Amino acid sequence: MTPDVPAAGSIEVRVRYCECDPMGVAHHASYTPWMEMARTELLRSAGVTYAQLERDGVFLVVTKLEVRYRRPIRYDDRIEIACNVVGGSRVKIRHEYELTLLEPGDGRGERLTDRAGQCAVGVTELACVSADGRVRELPDWLVPKTD
């Protein structure tokens, strides 16, 4: 059976104290792991793990990473990280991300669903390489579908 990887998905995260600076604001370095978590769960939703890919000699390495910060994320905030496959080629996959505040950690406010809750947007590009680091083609089922 060939996995059917969805083009979009999301996860929710509650910001931990260790992800913040002394002012209680999420450190910029925390955004990258959150985006990776969303990307990994998107793959997992198709029944495939990164560990399985690696056992099959397929390694995905980040070749591009961009993050634009719109508003701070703070300690104990509940956020959503949306991940969308937006393109690529036979050897690359491009994802876009949106990090949105769902619930402030201090308990004030309602669930925010409009752009006012948008905290950051990001882009990653991943290249497929073999175990020896040489560029290789993605498995057919992982090649981004274009319309």
| ∠ Cα 16 10 57 (to 5°) | 95
Other CB atoms within 10 A of residue 40 CB: 14
How many residues belong to the chain?
Answer: 147
Contacts of 114 (CB under 8 A, 6+ apart): none
Domains detected in the chain: 8-142 (3.10.129.10)
Beta bridge partners of 93: 88, 126
> For residues 87, 93, 28 and 14, what is the CA-based torsion angle, rounded to 10 degrees?
90
Q: Write the pLDDT tens digit of every residue in 81-131.
A: 999 999 999 999 999 999 999 998 876 555 555 556 899 999 999 999 999
Average pLDDT over residues 138-142: 92
- Known catalytic residue at 21: yes
Q: Write the pLDDT tens digit of every residue in 26-38.
A: 999 999 999 999 9
Candidate list 4, 21, 106, 132, residue with the active-site label: 21
Average pLDDT over residues 120-147: 92
pLDDT of residue 86: 95
DSSP-assigned letters across all residues of 88-122: E-SSEEEEEEEEEEEE-TTS-SPPP-SGGGEEEEE
Q: Write the pLDDT tens digit of every residue in 26-70.
A: 999 999 999 999 999 999 998 999 999 999 999 999 999 999 999
